[in-house]
Amino acid sequence: MRKIFRKKSIKGIIESHNLMEDGDKLHRNLSVVDLTSFGIAAVIGAGIFSTVGKACFSGGPGVIYLFILAAVASGFTAMCYAEFASRIPAAGSAYTYAYTTFGEVFAWIIGWALVMEYSIGNIAVAISWSEYFQTLLQNIGLSLPDWLGVDYATAKKAFMTGLSNEYASAYALAPEILGLKIIVNLPAFLINILITIVVYVGIKESKNFSNFMVLLKVLVIIMVIGVGFFYIDGANWNPFMPNGFKGVMAGVSSVFFAYIGFDAISTTAEECKNPRSDLPKGMFYALLICTILYILLALVLTGMVPYNLLDVKDPLAFVFYQKGMHWIGGVISVSAIVAMTSVLLVFQMGQPRIWMSMSRDGLMPKKFSKIHPKYKTPSYATIVTGLVVGIPILFVDYDLVIDFTSISTLFAFVLVCGGVLLLPEEVKDKTKFSLPKISSRYILPAFVIGIALWGLWTNDGDKYFSELFQFVPLDKSFSLFGFHFFNYADTNVTNISLIIFYIILLIFTGLTIKKNFTLIPVLGLLSCAYLLTSMNLINWIYFIIWMIIGLVVYFLYSHKNSKLHI
């Protein structure tokens, strides 16, 4: 059993990379500007152009607090990624980092979770891209048949619930072959093929393509903020949190989905000119720029129209249509297509490089680490990624994919932050990033005592903790593949998650007093764990099922084929 926790040494990873033949290495083409651009390309996409409306609808103008909380959690995590990247300048991201700290089985679990972040997440981006593309076609007088513009699951759900929209029409009018309705999201499928080709051709070409799209979409977002500022009605900001803090936290999946991607920068470590210093800078710059844009954009959206009108798939265009400025709505539709194309590009680059690292370690078949002799890219892994993203696009549900992606990413972030706590002390080197060493021995206990005092001495705190242990009657049921399993209530699930979080907080407080952990990774771990408490039960169940499948694959193939296997 101990073999599943075997670890790779940091020194061994670096030495094995240096001993590689040139034909097995990737080209080093990326600078700080390129890495920052890739980070912005990944972060500013489907989240801000689509799911931000849902978050504003739940939390009102107060959703900016959730953006700040998600940014803080991402910032702490970025510093932990940066610490790893400065020590281990190799591809693989969180997977490689976990291999050196937690051991092989945890590395596999993270690698399996990252499939959901990059591949499954890209399905959501491609579907959202398709929505904007079809809107753009309609604005110029063109249209696709309804059954070529939506996935099967969404169309069937709309038809079965009696809706009278284009999705229900797609199911009703779709042609049939052998009794099976032909319903496919053709635009989403085709953009996935195009992006796969671009990534296959090479990092330099991808870099130039991404830099152009990032510049264009940032300029458009600045224009939206600048123009929208003059149409803000202050009355729309009152009340600022119409549904309370619970309403703000209800949008956690949507908001965190908007931050997913900055960690994709770390998968390009082998293609950076100076990974030890450039990777951390690229992550920090991308996060800072995106957070500022997000907060300003959320304030403009909720200021231009009442928050309860924003539960739409194209909120940025919607608010300008509401003000009669259709030309800006059209510009936003074009920029959304550009934005999400760049996200597809970055995520499609990240997944093959993780599989490449896993293949080099023997945890996946050798073909996944094959480097194209001309383009110097992981060619086989890139093609498989294209298929893994492209095939489910035809039938998966959009909302499920977003939640699925957020929970797996937060899980990976928790393990990355925890991994930094296990790293050995290192002599400080001014030529590379080094995580600030701040003792949490007194700060974290003081924080916990502060929470306890708030709960005892304020009405809000007393109400919060008393409601935490109140469980409501069951009002929902969980079914899988048509089989009913049990009943549950969302409030109960949230309360149980919060209780588990507070138990973890108390355990970490005790460990911090004893072991004097450095503060930043502790705050990163706890903030990401807190965001996980807002995930609903169905997300957890699907996540656990996915992890079980991954462990089966590990024990049947990866464990015995590992290069560390003795």
Q: How confident is the model at residue 27 (pLDDT cuts 50, 70, 90)?
A: low
The domain that contains 207 carries what CATH number?
Answer: 1.20.1740.10
State whether 179 and 321 are in the same domain. Answer: no
Rounded average pLDDT over 104-119: 82
| CA–CA distance, 70 with 258 (Å, rounded to integer) | 9
The pLDDT value given to residue 19: 52
Length of the chain in residues, anyone?
Answer: 566
Rounded average pLDDT over 380-399: 83
Mean pLDDT of the chain: 79
Residue 305 within a domain: yes
- Cis previous bond, 445, omega within 30: no
| CA–CA distance, 278 with 23 (Å, rounded to integer) | 24
Q: How confident is the model at residue 219 (pLDDT cuts 50, 70, 90)?
A: confident
Give the pLDDT confidence of 548-558 residue by residue, as tens digits: 998 999 999 98
3 state DSSP class of 513: helix
The pLDDT value given to residue 2: 65
Highest mean pLDDT, choosing among 46-60, 176-190, 425-439: 176-190
Q: How confident is the model at residue 428 (pLDDT cuts 50, 70, 90)?
A: low
Rounded average pLDDT over 418-432: 70
Scanning 7-88, the segments in alpha helix (DSSP H) are: 10-18, 32-43, 46, 52-59, 63-87
DSSP notation for 423-438: SPP----TTS------
> Which comes out higher in pLDDT, residue 3 or 560?
560
Look at residue 503 and tell me whether its pLDDT is greater than 80: yes
Q: Which helix (H) or strand (E) holds 202?
A: none
The pLDDT value given to residue 173: 85
State whether 165 and 271 are in the same domain. Answer: no
Rounded average pLDDT over 134-159: 82
Rounded average pLDDT over 543-564: 88
How many H-runs (helices) and E-runs (strands) does the chain carry?
A: 25, 4
The proportion of the chain whose per-residue pLDDT surpasses 90, expressed as a percent, equals 2
Both structure tokens of 217: 């979409």
State whether 324 and 219 are in the same domain. Answer: yes
The proportion of the chain whose per-residue pLDDT surpasses 70, expressed as a percent, equals 81
State whether 188 and 337 are in the same domain. Answer: yes
> Which comes out higher in pLDDT, residue 198 or 264?
198
Block residue for tokens 């393509």: 209
Residue 20 within a domain: no
Q: How confident is the model at residue 28 (pLDDT cuts 50, 70, 90)?
A: low
Look at residue 150 and tell me whether its pLDDT is greater than 80: yes
Give the pLDDT confidence of 69-83 residue by residue, as tens digits: 888 888 888 888 877
Q: How confident is the model at residue 273 (pLDDT cuts 50, 70, 90)?
A: confident
| CA–CA distance, 104 with 358 (Å, rounded to integer) | 10
3 state DSSP class of 391: coil
> Which comes out higher in pLDDT, residue 468 or 446?
446
| CA–CA distance, 357 with 359 (Å, rounded to integer) | 5
* Sign for the pseudo-dihedral over CA of 148, 151, 155, 156: positive
The pLDDT value given to residue 29: 61
Look at residue 142 and tell me whether its pLDDT is greater than 90: no
| CA–CA distance, 272 with 266 (Å, rounded to integer) | 10
Residue 432 within a domain: no
State whether 330 and 385 are in the same domain. Answer: yes
The pLDDT value given to residue 18: 56
The pLDDT value given to residue 133: 86
The pLDDT value given to residue 285: 86
Look at residue 178 and tell me whether its pLDDT is greater than 70: yes
| CA–CA distance, 537 with 492 (Å, rounded to integer) | 10
| CA–CA distance, 390 with 196 (Å, rounded to integer) | 10
Residue 425 within a domain: no
Domain's final residue, options 183, 205, 227:
183
Residue 428's nearest CA partner among 419, 437, 420 is: 437
Block residue for tokens 């760049």: 342
Task: Quote the pTM value.
Answer: 0.78
Residue 273 within a domain: yes
State whether 114 and 175 are in the same domain. Answer: no
Counted domains in the chain: 3
Residue 42 within a domain: yes
Check: CB of residue 389 under 8 Å from CB of residue 130. Answer: no
Check: CB of residue 376 under 8 Å from CB of residue 251. Answer: no
Question: What is the span of the domain harbouring residue 131?
Answer: 2-9+28-149+184-418
DSSP 477: E
State whether 256 and 372 are in the same domain. Answer: yes
State whether 314 and 391 are in the same domain. Answer: yes
Check: CB of residue 122 under 8 Å from CB of residue 348. Answer: yes
Distances (CA, A) of 460 to 62, 66, 333, 456, 457: 17, 19, 43, 9, 9
Residue 77's nearest CA partner among 262, 336, 238 is: 262
Distances (CA, A) of 288 to 139, 177, 268, 333, 389: 35, 51, 20, 25, 29
Residue 436 within a domain: no
State whether 36 and 170 are in the same domain. Answer: no
Both structure tokens of 424: 């050995």
The pLDDT value given to residue 552: 93
> Which comes out higher in pLDDT, residue 364 or 12?
364
State whether 95 and 162 are in the same domain. Answer: no
Residue 189 within a domain: yes
State whether 170 and 93 are in the same domain. Answer: no
Check: CB of residue 258 under 8 Å from CB of residue 182. Answer: no
The pLDDT value given to residue 396: 77
Look at residue 458 and tell me whether its pLDDT is greater than 60: yes
Give the pLDDT confidence of 278-337 residue by residue, as tens digits: 777 888 888 888 888 888 888 998 999 998 888 776 788 788 888 888 788 778 778 788
> Which comes out higher in pLDDT, residue 88 or 59?
59
State whether 175 and 192 are in the same domain. Answer: no
Q: How confident is the model at residue 478 (pLDDT cuts 50, 70, 90)?
A: low
Give the pLDDT confidence of 324-348 residue by residue, as tens digits: 887 887 787 787 887 788 778 777 8
Check: CB of residue 80 under 8 Å from CB of residue 435. Answer: yes
Rounded average pLDDT over 173-179: 84
Furthest C-alpha separation in the chain:
69
